[in-house]
Amino acid sequence: MAYDRNRISPGSENATSARQEARNRFVIVIGASAGGVEPLKQIVSDLPADLPAAVFVVLHVGQVSYLPAILARVATLKTSVAKNGAKFKTGNIYVAPPGFHLLLHGDHMMLRRGPRENLARPAIDPLFRSAALSYGASVIGVLLSGSLSDGTAGLRAIKAVGGLAIVQHPKDTLVPSMVESALRYVEV
């Protein structure tokens, strides 16, 4: 049951139940940048077809992205570009489109132009923070290869609400800066 503010008043028992149900969903958020495509392909190819979670991916890209098609070739899960306002389903992979931050709220996705974060749009931190806010301990955050520190603040938010933080081993990355930053500031 999704929270419907027209039917459920915020303080009602039904509202509490709807929020709890939303938190019981499993959400996997994955962020990557330079050198992250190959490990990302490996991860999605290993996910089972009956995965009881929705997967959301942000990769720092330019104005064009072929990532949904690349992942669709190796994944057993349906892979698509995230759509603003669309409800998401478990057993699906959603990829942030170029030029938009991907955010999660309730049972749907939001795309926002917003300012660049860590020099990127889409950026990893907005996805991770919104997932932590909406789903708490049901979130698994995964950070892969890349430069600078995008993903660190988002992983901290995920850990702060009891979620799980995972990073690629720095020795296995092409560009270790993002995961090294996360390892300095987040218990993974």
Question: Which residues participate in catalysis according to the annotation?
Answer: 33, 60, 150
DSSP string, 73-103: HH-SSEEEE--TT-B--TTEEEEPPTT-EEE
46: its two tokens: 């290993």
Element (H, E) at 53: strand 53-59
Burial of 102 (0-12, 13-18, 19+ CB in 10 A): buried
